[in-house]
Amino acid sequence: MNGVAAEYVVLHEDGVVPIPDHLSWEEAATLPIASLTAWSMLIEYGGLQAGDTLLLQGTGGVSIFGLQFSIMAGARAIITSSSNAKLERAKALGAWQTINYSEVPDWDQKVLELTDGGVDHVLDVGGAATMVKSINALRTGGTVSMVGFLSGLTISEYDVTGILQKAATVRGSQVGNRDHLEKMNRAIAHHRLHPVIDRVFPLDRIGEAFALLAEGKQYFGKIVVQI
C-alpha cells in the first residue's frame, strides 16, 4: 500500500499480525505478498500434499517460497530459470529437478518426460507467454495458479483444447487473506523456515531496490528495503 516506505506509519489493528519469533524484521517483510501468494495457491487452494509434484517458474520471491513450502509439505519441485547458477542454488535449497528454459525451449515437454505424465501444480508467473505450456505440463486434473504476468496479459487466439483435454483448473491469485497469513506464519514458525533474501537496501537507497526489481533477472529470492 502507498505510504509504507517510512519509519513510522499508522495502521488499523486488523491490518497487522505478529511475526514468527525466529525471523528478523527483514525476513518478516518478505511474508505478506510473495510468501502468502505461494502459500495460498499451493496450500490453501491447491491442497498440496506429500508426494505431489509441482512446477515453479523462475527464482523470484513467489517461486522460491513455493520451493520451500513444497519441501515442507513433502512434495517434489521442478524449477525453471535461464541461469544455471541460479538452478544450482535452487538444487541446494532442495529442488527435485531443474530446467534451463533457454537451453530447453520446450520445457513443458521436458516436464512431461521427468514426471511420466505431468505435474499436479504449476505456479505460473509468466502470464501470456507461459500459460499454454503450463497447461500442457499438467497431469490430467492438475491445477495452474496464475500468480504473475511478466510476459503480458493477452494470449491471442488461444485454443482452449488443452484445458479441456487436461480437465485442468486455472486459478487466478489475489494473494491471500489474514487467516491464510496467520496459518502460514504458524507453519513457518514450526518448521523454522527462513525466507531467501537476495539483497537488502537501506531506505535512502530505495530507488536502487526498485531498479533491481525492474531488471527482473538479477536476483534470487526477495529484495528488501531496511527501515
The ranges assigned to domains in the chain are 21-199
- What digits encode the pLDDT tens for the residues 115-142? 989 999 999 987 777 888 999 999 999 9
pLDDT at 153: 61
* Class of the domain covering 21-199: alpha beta
Place of cell 487436461: 166
Residue 69: phi, psi to the nearest 5? Answer: -70, -35
pLDDT at 94: 96
- Share of the chain residues as helix, strand and coil, in percent rounded to the nearest 5: 40, 20, 40
The ranges of the chain with pLDDT < 50 are none
- What is the length of the chain? 227
Question: Which helix (H) or strand (E) element contains residue 141?
Answer: strand 138-146
**Do 22 and 46 meet the contact criterion of CB atoms below 8 Å apart?**
no
CA distances from 63 to 8, 93, 202, 220 (A): 31, 12, 25, 10
**What's the predicted TM-score (pTM) here?**
0.91
Cα dihedral 158/162/163/168 (nearest 10): -140
pLDDT at 121: 96
pLDDT at 150: 59
